[in-house]
């Protein structure tokens, strides 16, 4: 076998490797484009190079995209299953289609009865009871149970993510390349799409260009915040170090602030579900 033939054979071999490595991206790209036909994306495109799965909720037939990140399969969009005491962002049914529904902690966890009403009155109104809602809120606000594999309002086979599961996701998203960087900013940029967000920074345009949604997680800001600069997603984990009814949440704010935070359980927020392993 002469050397010219060997070189040609080697070039063909390299070409086949290159084509096979690109094939997945090509197939994935066109699969995503085909799946978007007839489905509105509200001007916020999905990452065309991420391989998504599909979840059909047997309760209402709603179809969600899913994404697997570090052996955890997540919903790639917010839950939009209507249950009593859930609500649409900004009180608009159209917002439910785009952003999913919002749930207070006990509603999302499907833990009843926690309190007589899921709406917290204004402290200045007649219906407000400090022993029920305020600093003297009773311990019955706390679940005190395990925060793993709790189905709550999720479909069968899926559950409300725990603080631990959020951290597994974060470690994967951050990777070794983020060591020494502002981890909150890295997480925000790599989990949010470049469109749909309005920041309050003087670097508005530059900040949005930094958003890459590398993993197809597609966190969108809630219209409840008029400037569309924040997103809050619920976790099953309670913040039991205080006497207040609080929970740990995933909180994106302007791309520069904290990601993991805490929130009042009486505040409706978005829900993402994780598949049971």
pLDDT tens figures, 204-220:
555 566 788 999 999 98
Q: Are residues 88 and 30 in the same domain?
A: no
**Is residue 42 included in any domain, yes or no?**
no
Which residues constitute the domain of residue 18? 1-35
Mean pLDDT in residue range 34-53: 79
Q: Are residues 131 and 183 in the same domain?
A: yes
**Is residue 184 included in any domain, yes or no?**
yes
The structure tokens 């260009």 sit at: 209
Q: Are 224 and 245 in contact (CB under 8 A)?
A: no
Q: Are residues 80 and 30 in the same domain?
A: no
Q: Are residues 88 and 221 in the same domain?
A: yes
Q: Are residues 129 and 67 in the same domain?
A: yes
pTM of the model: 0.76
pLDDT at 68: 95
Q: Are residues 268 and 161 in the same domain?
A: yes
Q: Are residues 21 and 59 in the same domain?
A: no
- Pairing between β-strand 274-275 and β-strand 158-159 as defined by DSSP bridges: antiparallel
**Digit-coded pLDDT (tens) for 150-178:** 899 999 999 999 888 998 998 898 886 55
Q: Say how many domains are in the chain.
A: 2
């Amino acid at each position: 076998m002469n050397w010219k033939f060997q070189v040609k054979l080697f070039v063909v071999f390299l070409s086949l490797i290159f084509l096979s490595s690109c094939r997945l991206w090509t197939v994935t790209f066109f699969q995503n484009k085909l799946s978007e036909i007839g489905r509105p994306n509200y001007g916020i495109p999905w990452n065309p190079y991420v391989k998504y799965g599909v979840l059909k909720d047997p309760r209402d037939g709603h179809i969600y995209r899913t994404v697997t990140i570090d052996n955890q399969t997540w919903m790639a969009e917010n839950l939009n299953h209507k249950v009593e005491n859930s609500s649409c962002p900004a009180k608009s049914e159209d917002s439910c289609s785009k952003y999913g529904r919002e749930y207070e902690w006990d509603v999302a966890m499907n833990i009843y009865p926690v309190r007589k009403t899921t709406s917290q009155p204004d402290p200045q109104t007649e219906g407000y009871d400090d022993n029920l809602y305020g600093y003297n809120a009773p311990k019955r606000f706390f679940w005190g149970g395990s925060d793993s594999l709790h189905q709550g309002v999720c479909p069968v086979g899926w559950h409300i993510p725990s603080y631990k599961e959020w951290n597994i996701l974060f470690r994967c998203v951050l990777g070794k390349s983020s060591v020494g960087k502002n981890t909150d900013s890295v997480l925000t940029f790599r989990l949010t799409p470049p469109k749909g967000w309005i920041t309050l920074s003087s670097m508005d345009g530059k900040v949005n260009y930094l958003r890459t949604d590398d993993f197809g997680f597609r966190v969108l800001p809630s219209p409840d915040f008029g400037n569309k600069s924040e997103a809050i997603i619920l976790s099953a984990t309670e913040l039991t170090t205080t006497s207040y009814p609080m929970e740990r949440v995933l909180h994106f704010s302007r791309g520069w602030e904290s990601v993991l935070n805490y929130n009042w359980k009486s505040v409706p927020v978005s829900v993402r579900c994780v598949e049971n392993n």
